[in-house]
Amino acid sequence: MGDGNPLAENPATDPEDRVLVLRAKSGDRDALEELVGRHQAWIYNIALRMLYHPQDAEDATQEILVKAVTALSSFEGRSSFRTWLYRIAVNHVLNAKRGRLEPARLSFNCYAHALDSTPDLDLPDPRSVPVDLRLLVDEARLSCTSGMLLCLDREQRLIYILGEILDVTDAVGAELLEISRENFRQRLARARRDLHSFMNDRCGLVNRSNPCRCAKKTRGFMQAGYVDPESLLFARERVEQVHEVARARAEALTTLDAQCAAVFRRHPFSQPPDLVPALRRLLAGPDFRRVTDSP
């Protein structure tokens, strides 16, 4: 795994984090801000895949970081800082209020019906839209596959995000969720089974015999309001992809699991707006204690 991946089995970030935590607890605001900067993108990418909408993910990320920063004085180092911080993140996204585009309940059957009801159409005239057609097709691909994740319940979704998309090991996943490694593997297997079965039956990205194609659905998604050319939620010109920052797998994409996982690892590894200035303002206010205060 990459040296900067805090979810690696033995992350190189841990010793550096410990030093920054000690400095932050002694009142070093620069160290505190560096800690936030090191972890905000990873927390944001978990929240984005859980909640779907970037603004909801940004709000959740800020709430998680505020929780962590204001509780930092209680961190005693019994576990790694990574474990402490990401347990806060995991518990928050599991219990956060439903996002603006996260339905109360969405089944794979309902999703299949929605896809079937979306007509296959040619792409719009490139002169009629304000962005490159390739970005519109990317937006359709990313919004559709992100929507598939919402068909998993929150616990399944989180375990799939950690274990399959971000490729954390069962040891790390079990540690963050406070379950056994065997339990983590079993829950991940169930999430894979449900999601991958749907994708194998429906998604042309995974199974070329399926008729569903992102380019053919793009215009229909635009008509339904799922893709807005004036305000793209996911697609950007060139971004890092998840597989470039998480653990790279060497095996060929010969299995259904590998093919489905590759679809999600080609999603952007999204950078949130820098939340340090907002946290700085919040912590300067009267409602927040200094991190050096006693809990």
- Residue at 275 is within a domain: yes
Q: Kindly state the tokens that stand for 193.
A: 């089974």
Lowest-pLDDT choice from 74-83, 150-159, 173-182: 74-83
More confident residue, 2 or 30: 30
Residues ≥6 apart with Cβ < 8 Å to 174: 180, 181, 183, 184
Neighbours of 31 (CB within 10 A): 17
- Residue at 292 is within a domain: no
**Could you give the CA distance from residue 171 to residue 81 in angstroms, rounded to a whole number?**
16
**Could you give the CA distance from residue 202 to residue 189 in angstroms, rounded to a whole number?**
20
- Residue at 119 is within a domain: yes
- Residue at 295 is within a domain: no
pLDDT at 155 > cutoff 90:
yes
**Could you give the CA distance from residue 40 to residue 33 in angstroms, rounded to a whole number?**
10
- What confidence category does residue 282 fall into, taking pLDDT thresholds of 50, 70 and 90? confident
**Could you give the CA distance from residue 95 to residue 275 in angstroms, rounded to a whole number?**
22
Helices 108-117 and 181-202: crossing angle, nearest 10°? Answer: 20
Average pLDDT, the chain: 90
- Residue at 293 is within a domain: no
CATH number of 199's domain: 1.20.140.160
pLDDT of residue 278: 79
- Residue at 230 is within a domain: yes
206-230 pLDDT, tens digit per residue, is 999 999 999 999 999 999 999 999 9
pLDDT of residue 2: 40
- What confidence category does residue 1 fall into, taking pLDDT thresholds of 50, 70 and 90? very low
Please name which of 189, 172, 25 lies closest in space to residue 90, comparing C-alpha atoms. Answer: 172
Tally of domains within the chain: 1
Distances, alpha carbon 173 to alpha carbons 180, 217, 275, in Å = 9, 35, 26
Domain residues for the domain of 169 are: 13-284
Q: Kindly state the tokens that stand for 251.
A: 């095996």
Q: Is 13 exposed, middle or buried (0-12, 13-18, 19+ CB in 10 A)?
A: buried
pLDDT of residue 169: 95
- What confidence category does residue 295 fall into, taking pLDDT thresholds of 50, 70 and 90? very low
- Residue at 25 is within a domain: yes
231-280 pLDDT, tens digit per residue, is 999 998 767 788 888 876 655 667 899 999 999 999 999 988 888 887 78
Q: Kindly state the tokens that stand for 96.
A: 């956060």
pTM to 2 decimals?
Answer: 0.91
Most confident of 75-79, 187-191, 249-253: 187-191
80-107 pLDDT, tens digit per residue, is 999 999 999 999 999 988 767 676 678 9
pLDDT at 119 > cutoff 60:
yes
- Residue at 172 is within a domain: yes
